[in-house]
A and B are shown apart, each in its own frame.
Chain A
């Protein structure tokens, strides 16, 4: 902002110098405003596959459907603008010519069946003409058959879970959350932040192959969310207890960004979607890597952990899942309860906290975390019981969680 004020000052100086004629003044005013607008704005660039700076129209489509939507929008915009200009051209002509102050006397006509029928029938025909290409697009959008790859996207408060159900990569599953550093920046007023993917960076992007029909099945765990990626031309609500589907076939390798588009609670603005489209070879390599990692990550649910190991693991789980609400310092915020010093956390009976994590609390204002593995839940509980001022020395093992499920 301070840069903006410097520019403002220099421009005021510039304006003072140029007092010669009105035209110069006007131009300098415009330049001053443009300069102010561009520097007061953040030093941020267009994000390919996401929004551009001061973008005026839809994002460039990376799928046939998105391009079709873009075309339809232009089609409608042009027709509407032509009608608008024609109709209001008549109105402003009338306002100009048929004024009392220019001595116009009012005519006495007040109906004409012919004219009235004409301006009912003609718009009706125009509307039908508009509906034809739209119908074609709706039918194409809705055709989710013969997909090469099917992925289930599950909306959680406030993150996305992706399960590769069918096709290359079957069995891969992960959770995708907003980069915690960006969430922190938001809380701090985003001062001095000029990153192009602000609020759009996730830990694990959804990876898909290029030129393959990807069917996304949406559902949700708690409330309604919406899976939306503008440049891929998809938006589909994710509804708890129900499944819906949509599809896309990305035509170019690259990164595409979207955000949750159905109000889902306080962190609604913080559950972005990042779709990474890879070439067939890169995708195959990614799948192989993922599968290897999954095999390695498979926790032995019977493993008995040491306190140091499990709290280390718990710290990661906490950062990814809990810190957004309970804060990294464990103090909570507003209605969010603190964990630091919490009676439940400090309680001798570790089952109390296990129950809260498995079932949620306060009408699910604290959601259920049963989708996490036994090891993760055990780890995060152990972490909270032994971090900040909490020094219980208690250790929860995966087997304890399993028993409580």
Chain B
């Protein structure tokens, strides 16, 4: 039946859902993708406000706005919200929207579970954010929730743990959905080695998520029982070991870092070829590099813990393994540049963000290599150098890639082209203010300014002032992005987009009209030999 209706171009044969029910009972991958993206952007704004409060406090030495206790709550909640509320859900949003379209599937494999994994995030986010209003305030033990400091926290710590459990459950369900969709629902002819890179990177990311989210759940559950049920896993007074918490946490935490960057690599691997008008260089080596990064991510966790005092062999092992990761990461950067080489490039906003990503993310990669050296890490561990490093990879990495992806796929999502001038303003404004904010932090860290400090020696004042000014510009750039780029596009203002608005874009998502109809690929499409075009 659906084939008949499809041929008539009617896509709403289930009766198009209307009003609030469309969103609350959503089972359509596109609607759920939109929900994820809007949720993630909201959390980005919440986390951003916390970041600006931190930067406002650090604008000058001395305490002006917040007391040290609240300051710790701000840094902790900024980290938790950005990692678990903004970056991760945003990539799941991209996955929901693009994976079925890119592999020629009609929807995600488990449509109702998809709904559940999104709506679980709302109570989790509410619990997390509302912990600010609980007695004693929000959790203040850092986003890493190191024991035994967590054992001293008030009831909000339990709320935080509960929220993390919900978010973890949501992530696991989302990952199962993605894996099953990719492995079972590809259009005939799309073999694994013909899959688009974004699908590949998400397949690997989903496996990472399933492997490590339960590990985090274990660590925080043990924290919970230590707090309330008399266990002493991490409490030395009862024979527990606080460092054990760190080992468990970072066994989750390091793969988590790659969970937040691999899908970004996927997005960039679509945009660079599209705007260089040239096929992606070294597709196979991209797949192998991504897999190597994922596997290596499981054996490097203790490089976050050099300062805990590992034996010399432990430090050496983790140092070597960590340095090794730079090899496959380098391969990816070289492949992107080789894709650009002798291309025929244009620089619309998606490409600007992609090139910006490659350039600035690589700086974060190099500081990562420098940090991997245990003797240098002795100097800069837990200083602003680390803060600079992970913002270079998470903001200039993940966030820039998502901006690139938004501009690239926005015509497909909304049916209209975004405003190119405004997109370019957003790019340059973001790129410059990002570097003004975070580049001086390298200097602060090298000079020895510890992170998570509410107040600091006077010698650090100037760079902190510069960073704070940059941070506010960066924040306003994202408000501009939402009000003047995203909203008009969502309202359908702008030039109508063709099915394939980019001259050299490749992939099945460009084979359906713009905006993508509510239902797509209801019968599996027949593909050409490259699995990038529908031929019937």
- Cβ-defined contact, A59 with B447, below 8 A: yes
Q: How far is the CB of A274 from chain B (nearest CB, A)?
A: 12
CA gap between A40 and B281 in the complex, in Å: 51
Stretch from A261-269, A313-321, A349-357, A386-394 that touches the partner: A261-269
Name A220-242 residues within 8 Å CB distance of B. Answer: 222-224, 226, 228, 230, 233-237, 239-242
Q: Which of these, A37, A59, A199, A258, contacts B456 with CB under 8 Å?
A: A199
For A108, list chain B residues within 8 Å (CB): 278-279
A115 contacts B by Cβ under 8 Å: yes
A135 contacts B by Cβ under 8 Å: yes
A54 contacts B by Cβ under 8 Å: yes
Q: How far is the CB of A158 from chain B (nearest CB, A)?
A: 10
For A106, list chain B residues within 8 Å (CB): 276-278, 342-344, 504
Q: How far is the CB of A86 from chain B (nearest CB, A)?
A: 11
A18 contacts B by Cβ under 8 Å: no
- Cβ-defined contact, B148 with A197, below 8 A: no
Q: Which of these, A189, A195, A199, A226, contacts B382 with CB under 8 Å?
A: A226
A101 contacts B by Cβ under 8 Å: yes
A69 with B63, Cβ < 8 A, contacts A127-B327, A198-B457 known:
no
Q: Which residue of A lies closest to B64 (CB)?
A: A189
Stretch from B125-133, B166-174, B357-365 that touches the partner: B357-365
CA gap between A199 and B453 in the complex, in Å: 11
Name B52-105 residues within 8 Å CB distance of A. Answer: 60-64, 67-70, 72
Stretch from A22-30, A44-52, A302-310, A339-347 that touches the partner: A44-52
For A258, list chain B residues within 8 Å (CB): 448
Q: Which residue of B lies closest to A55 (CB)?
A: B447
Q: How far is the CB of B443 from chain A (nearest CB, A)?
A: 5
B189 contacts A by Cβ under 8 Å: no
Q: How far is the CB of B351 from chain A (nearest CB, A)?
A: 10
For B135, list chain A residues within 8 Å (CB): 335
- Cβ-defined contact, A263 with B345, below 8 A: no
- Cβ-defined contact, B149 with A264, below 8 A: yes
Query: Which of A197, A223, A236: most chain B CB closer than 10 A?
Result: A223
Q: Which residue of B lies closest to A101 (CB)?
A: B346
Q: How far is the CB of B349 from chain A (nearest CB, A)?
A: 15
CA gap between A223 and B61 in the complex, in Å: 26
- Cβ-defined contact, B241 with A241, below 8 A: yes
- Cβ-defined contact, B63 with A187, below 8 A: yes
Q: Which of these, B340, B382, B456, contacts A269 with CB under 8 Å?
A: B456
- Cβ-defined contact, A223 with B455, below 8 A: no
CA gap between A135 and B315 in the complex, in Å: 9
Flag A174-194 by CB within 8 Å of B: 1 or 0 each. Answer: 000000000001111111011
- Cβ-defined contact, B459 with A58, below 8 A: no
Q: How far is the CB of A79 from chain B (nearest CB, A)?
A: 9
For B512, list chain A residues within 8 Å (CB): none
CA gap between A237 and B309 in the complex, in Å: 7
For B448, list chain A residues within 8 Å (CB): 50-51, 58-59, 228, 230, 258-259
Name B309-328 residues within 8 Å CB distance of A. Answer: 309, 311-312, 315-316, 319-320, 323-324, 326-328
For A363, list chain B residues within 8 Å (CB): 151-154
Q: Which residue of B lies closest to A57 (CB)?
A: B446
- Cβ-defined contact, A335 with B136, below 8 A: yes
For B137, list chain A residues within 8 Å (CB): 335
CA gap between A55 and B441 in the complex, in Å: 11
B416 contacts A by Cβ under 8 Å: no
- Cβ-defined contact, A130 with B323, below 8 A: yes
For A226, list chain B residues within 8 Å (CB): 307, 382
A5 contacts B by Cβ under 8 Å: no
Q: Which of these, A50, A53, A69, A112, contacts B375 with CB under 8 Å?
A: A69
Q: Which residue of B lies closest to A335 (CB)?
A: B136
- Cβ-defined contact, A267 with B68, below 8 A: yes
- Cβ-defined contact, B283 with A111, below 8 A: yes
Q: Which residue of B lies closest to A188 (CB)?
A: B62
- Cβ-defined contact, B62 with A51, below 8 A: no
A56 contacts B by Cβ under 8 Å: yes
CA gap between A316 and B341 in the complex, in Å: 72
Stretch from B115-123, B330-338, B513-521 that touches the partner: B330-338
- Cβ-defined contact, B148 with A134, below 8 A: no
A76 contacts B by Cβ under 8 Å: yes
B284 contacts A by Cβ under 8 Å: yes
B465 contacts A by Cβ under 8 Å: yes
Q: How far is the CB of A190 from chain B (nearest CB, A)?
A: 3
CA gap between A384 and B307 in the complex, in Å: 40
Interface of chain B, main secondary structure: helix
Stretch from B20-28, B36-44, B138-146, B473-481 that touches the partner: B138-146
Q: Which residue of A lies closest to B153 (CB)?
A: A363
- Cβ-defined contact, B379 with A111, below 8 A: no
- Cβ-defined contact, B343 with A104, below 8 A: yes
CA gap between A230 and B456 in the complex, in Å: 15
B494 contacts A by Cβ under 8 Å: no
For B153, list chain A residues within 8 Å (CB): 363
B373 contacts A by Cβ under 8 Å: yes
For B199, list chain A residues within 8 Å (CB): none
Q: How far is the CB of B354 from chain A (nearest CB, A)?
A: 11
Q: How far is the CB of B150 from chain A (nearest CB, A)?
A: 9
Q: How far is the CB of B512 from chain A (nearest CB, A)?
A: 26
- Cβ-defined contact, B379 with A233, below 8 A: yes
- Cβ-defined contact, A198 with B61, below 8 A: yes
Q: Which residue of B lies closest to A264 (CB)?
A: B149
For B237, list chain A residues within 8 Å (CB): 240-241
Q: How far is the CB of B534 from chain A (nearest CB, A)?
A: 22
Q: Which of these, A69, A186, A236, contacts B309 with CB under 8 Å?
A: A236
Name B425-466 residues within 8 Å CB distance of A. Answer: 443, 446-450, 452-463, 465
For B363, list chain A residues within 8 Å (CB): 84
Q: Which residue of B lies closest to A195 (CB)?
A: B458
Q: Which residue of B lies closest to A259 (CB)?
A: B450
CA gap between A25 and B320 in the complex, in Å: 52
For A2, list chain B residues within 8 Å (CB): none
Q: Which residue of B lies closest to A226 (CB)?
A: B307
For A116, list chain B residues within 8 Å (CB): 282, 285, 331
CA gap between A193 and B324 in the complex, in Å: 47
CA gap between A15 and B319 in the complex, in Å: 53
B183 contacts A by Cβ under 8 Å: no
A55 with B446, Cβ < 8 A, contacts A73-B379, A84-B366, A124-B327 known:
yes
Q: How far is the CB of B273 from chain A (nearest CB, A)?
A: 9
A137 with B383, Cβ < 8 A, contacts A98-B340, A335-B136 known:
no
- Cβ-defined contact, B459 with A242, below 8 A: no
A245 contacts B by Cβ under 8 Å: yes
- Cβ-defined contact, B152 with A130, below 8 A: no
For B331, list chain A residues within 8 Å (CB): 116, 119-120
For B328, list chain A residues within 8 Å (CB): 120
CA gap between A56 and B448 in the complex, in Å: 10
A263 with B149, Cβ < 8 A, contacts A104-B342, A130-B323, A134-B375 known:
yes
Flag A133-163 by CB within 8 Å of B: 1 or 0 each. Answer: 0110111011000000000000000000000
B184 contacts A by Cβ under 8 Å: no
For B285, list chain A residues within 8 Å (CB): 111, 116, 120
For B358, list chain A residues within 8 Å (CB): 91
A73 with B376, Cβ < 8 A, contacts A50-B459, A263-B72, A335-B136 known:
yes
A196 contacts B by Cβ under 8 Å: yes
B236 contacts A by Cβ under 8 Å: yes
B396 contacts A by Cβ under 8 Å: no
Cβ contacts A to B, 18 pairs, < 8 Å:
A51-B449, A51-B457, A55-B446, A87-B337, A87-B362, A110-B282, A111-B284, A112-B282, A119-B331, A138-B375, A142-B311, A188-B62, A189-B63, A240-B237, A241-B242, A245-B309, A268-B452, A365-B136
Task: Give me the 7 closest cross-chain CB pairs, A-B, nearest first.
Answer: A241-B236, A190-B62, A244-B309, A55-B447, A137-B375, A110-B279, A44-B458
- 20 more CB-based (< 8 A) A-B contacts, given A127-B323, A266-B140, A335-B137: A40-B465, A58-B379, A69-B378, A84-B362, A95-B355, A116-B285, A120-B285, A138-B316, A141-B378, A142-B312, A186-B63, A223-B148, A223-B149, A230-B379, A230-B447, A233-B378, A261-B382, A267-B68, A333-B67, A335-B69
